[in-house]
Amino acid sequence: MPGPRRQLVLTVDQSGRGDHRRIQDAVDAAPANSSPGSVVIRIKPGVYREKVAVDKPCVTLVGTSASSTVITWNESWVAAESPTVSVLAPDFIGKRLTFQNTFGTSGPAVAMRVAGDRAAFYGCRFVSFQDTLLDETGRHYYRGCYIEGGTDFIFGNAKALFDKCHLHSTSLVGGAFTAHKRSAESEDTGFSFVGCKLTGVGKGTSILGRPWGPYSRVVFALSYMSSTVRPEGWDDWSDPTKQRTAFYGQYQCYGEGSKTDGRVAWSRDLSQAEAARFITKVWVGGQEWLR
């Protein structure tokens, strides 16, 4: 009979009182073939100015609190290596961390790129302006997270459930919360926001989303929308043909920005039956992999 599974716990501390001073060094020290939950990297409070690429499976990064444990970089999105943090392997978990890119408002700058399957984030913060969170590929779950940006700040072609998250738009004009890609109807991808809160710095400054790909799919359910959300809600990105193929839905949202009477005609006010598939962890197959 096999013995209990051993868990490798590594501590990152800038003061030198841990196993490593840099987060990347701890990731590099993790085995290449772990099982889920077997590698935990505990990060002590501090501002870690480094780029991190998690290329090992089953790595968990845990901060003390998102406000005190910050991973930050300052770089525009010019290459695959540009994001502050990149998750490239499956079965990643992030808890109580801030992922930040301080590049500013002059162009795309990714704080987090998620390109591994079965990634989950709890109580994390994602902060940049344009293209903050690249939810690129795979199935992902975000719970109790804060995501800030102005333009297309949640984008990519993954299948993700955002559960009780706070989305904050810093755009003063022409903002967009999402830009989901999905190039074909056969792709099983989309963003679902359930029980979330949408706020912003201005009134009527941001749309809920625009189609990066023609079959873009985004649903907001049971969520609060402030007056930051524009009455029309969605935009076809200057391509009317995408109106026939994009799937943009809303279900039982509330707040001044949630009113559906001004929405574009091609968006959907979902029934309970239509919304059902989007609003539980089953949407990302979470019953199989979320622990």
Catalytically annotated residues = 131, 152
3-state secondary structure 14-36: CCCCCCECCHHHHHHHCCCCCCC
Bridge partner list, 71 = 48, 99
Alpha carbon separation from 68 to 154, 186, 277 (Å, rounded): 23, 42, 36
Check if the beta carbon of residue 129 is closer than 8 Å to that of residue 149. yes
Tokens 């043909």 sit on residue:
241
Side chain identity, residue 90: P
Q: Measured between alpha carbons, how far is 41 from 34 in angstroms, rounded to an integer?
A: 13
Q: Measured between alpha carbons, how far is 254 from 33 in angstroms, rounded to an integer?
A: 45
Sequence-distant (≥ 6) Cβ neighbours of residue 180 within 8 angstroms: 155, 156, 157, 189, 190, 191, 209, 211, 212, 213, 216, 217, 218
Q: Measured between alpha carbons, how far is 267 from 229 in angstroms, rounded to an integer?
A: 15
DSSP annotation of 287 reads H
